[in-house]
Every structure is written in C-alpha cells, then in structure tokens.
Structure 1
Amino acid sequence: MKELHHPHKDDALEVLKRSKTVVVIGISPDPERPSYYVSERLLSRGLHKVYFVNPKYAGQEILGIKVLPSMLDIPEKIDIVNVFRNPAHIEPILEEAIKVGAGCVWLQPGCENLEVIEKYRDKVRIVWNACIGVEAGYL
C-alpha cells in the first residue's frame, strides 16, 4: 500500500475553525474516556453545536446532551464527524458520514485505519493524526 499523506495539523485547525457542527461518534459517559473529556473541552469553548451519537447510550444524556442512535437523526448539516471508535469499526461510520453529506470525518488518534482512509479519502475529507481537543485549545 502506498504511503498516505498525513494532513498537517494546521489543516486540522482550519477545518475546526470553519466548522459549526460537530458530531461525536462513540461518546462514553465515563469521564476517564477520551471521548468524554475531549468532548467536554470542545463544549467548554462554546464555538460549535455538538451532537453525540452512540446506539449503546441513545436516549441518555451525557454532558447535558441527549445521545442519538445515528447520524441520520441529526437535524442539520454536519461539518465534522469526530470519531472515537476502534479502527476495525470505522468503515460503516465513513459510509454513514458520506450518506448524510458530512463535510469531514475526523479520526481521533488511535482510530486510524489506513486501508479505510485510502478507500474513502476521495469521497469525503478525512482528518487524522490530530486530536480535536488539542486543536480546540488554539481557537
């Protein structure tokens, strides 16, 4: 497989600056999990409308936000799909992101699957190799 170009972190920051809605895939109610504390940091900036998606916790509230079962349940355009999932499970997320017309899929560190990135990168913008929580600190 050919070497994939890693998006520069400035590119990630630009994506975040231009975005209004962020959907967190794989949110957990556990404050020790990255999906929780990174989302908390993003929310604390107050610059984005944040939605949470996790079928396991659908209907519950995490950080004051009702968890939805799917991206299909989000009533507005999605700028960033922020993914906290095992790399083996990201392909259906990319397929759903494309289906709903999301602007970008952001794979958090540890979620990258280079085969899947290669397969979908011409269909949707994919950011990886950057943490949205870290980038949010620069906004």
Structure 2
Amino acid sequence: MSFENPSREEIKQILLNAGNIAVVGLSDKTDRTSYMVAQALQSNGYRIIPVNPTVSGEILGEKVYASLSDIPEPVDIVNVFRRSEQTPPVAEEAVKIGARVLWLQLGIFNEEAYEIAAKGGLTVIMDRCIKVEDSILIGKRS
C-alpha cells in the first residue's frame, strides 16, 4: 500500500466528529510539545485522554493510562507523540481498541504502522500536527 494523507476536507470531518482523543506519549512537563498540543485541543473542546506508562495520576486534569488498552471508554483518535520506529505497536493497540483514526504527529512517519492501522480499518494521518490542522480547519469553537 502506498500512503497518502486524507484530504483537508476529510481531516476536517474527522476533527468535527471527534470526541475522545487519546494522546500517546503525552508528557506532564508543560514545556513539551505534546503537553502544549493536548492543552490547545482540550481548550478547543476535545476530550484528551493521556497515555503514558511513566506518569501516574493526572495530566491536564485527566486520568493517565499506561496503555490504550487500559482506557475504559471509546477512543476516536489515537494521537501519537512517539518516535517513528515505536509506532507499529501503537497501531496494533489502536486497532485492538477499535479507534477510528491513527494520527502520527508532525515528523512521525511509519509505513508499517500505516499498514497495520489501515488493514484494521482505521483512517491514518501521518506527519501532521493535529493542533495546526484543528486551527486551520476548525478554528476556535464557541
């Protein structure tokens, strides 16, 4: 399979229909990109579900889960802040939990992760920042 990101209109529809966004690799450090992106999404009305096995407690007021499989509710988008080579197992877990979208952040691209997720029925977006796409396509929600 040859990868191509969905069209801007398709991405807009994904964002408009998204509720729960699991953020894999979300840091509890406020100066990290993952934290700033998740905070911006949260302030624009998305429900953020932190996934980080090295952090316990809460990030941005939400309970942190060690893995996607530990999340007790449906996930629309799995947004990934991990190195490219670490994404295939995340794709497998995203398929297992029935997520709708695997979104690899800006600078993250992995053909194997794409193939795993696509074969599992997920829409895949790679090498794009979800915060930037949300700002461009949706803007501030009232």
Give the direction of change, closer, same or farther, for the CA distance of 1:45–1:120 in structure 2 (3 Å limit). closer
Cα deviation, residue 129, structure 1: 3.5
What are the Cα deviations for residues 114-137 of structure 1, in whole angstroms up to 9, with x where unaligned?
243234423222112421111222
Which segments of 5 or more consecutive residues in structure 2 lack a partner in the other structure? none
**1:12–1:130 CA contact under 8 A, matched in 2:** no
Structure 1 match to 2:102: 105
Could you say which residue in structure 2 is the equivalent of 1:45? 44
Shift of the 3–75 alpha-carbon distance from structure 1 to 2, 3 Å rule, reads: closer
Could you tell me the TM-score, scaled by structure 1's length? 0.88
Q: Runs ≥4 in structure 1, deviation > 3 angstroms?
A: none
How many residues get paired?
136
Identity %: 38
Question: Aligned equivalents of 1:118 and 1:99: distance in 2?
Answer: 14
Unaligned runs of 5+ in 1: none
TM-score normalised to structure 2 length: 0.86
**Are 1:41 and 1:136, in contact at CA under 8 Å, matched by a contact in 2?**
no
Instruction: Name 2:75's counterpart in structure 1.
Output: 78
RMSD over aligned Cα atoms: 1.7
* Cα distance between partner residues in 2 of 1:115 and 1:95: 10
Q: Identify which of 107, 115, 118 aligns with 1:118.
A: 115
